[in-house]
Structure 1
């Protein structure tokens, strides 16, 4: 897991605990990265099953 992936995982996990799904804008502000980098890192996390989106409950699932 890269530093950016680890950072995004922690941000998404911590914000999800309080029932707030972070937006791309939230992630851009908190990481200082551009949208393309964030999307690529989140896709990598989802590909490796570290992170998953539950469409029914509209929330993140964590490994």
Structure 2
């Protein structure tokens, strides 16, 4: 897991504990990266099954 992926994972995990899904603006502000880099990192996390989106509950699964 790269540093950016680890950082995004922790941000999503910590924010979702309080029932708030981070927006793209939240992730951009907290990581200092552009949208393309964030999307690529999230896609990598999802393909490695470290993150999954639950469509019914509209929340992340870890």
Number of equivalent positions: 62
Determine if the alignment matches structure 1 residue 57 to structure 2 residue 61: no
Determine if the alignment matches structure 1 residue 25 to structure 2 residue 34: no
Aligned residue for 1:12?
12
- Counterparts of residues 32-43 of structure 1 (less than 5 Å): 32-43=32-43
Q: Secondary structure at the match of 2:49?
A: coil
Q: What is the TM-score of this pair, normalised by structure 1?
A: 0.98
Unaligned runs of 5+ in 1: none
Q: What is the TM-score of this pair, normalised by structure 2?
A: 0.99
4+ long deviations beyond 2 Å? none
The Cα offsets for residues 30-58 of structure 1, whole Å up to 9 and x where unpaired, read as 00000000000000000000000000000
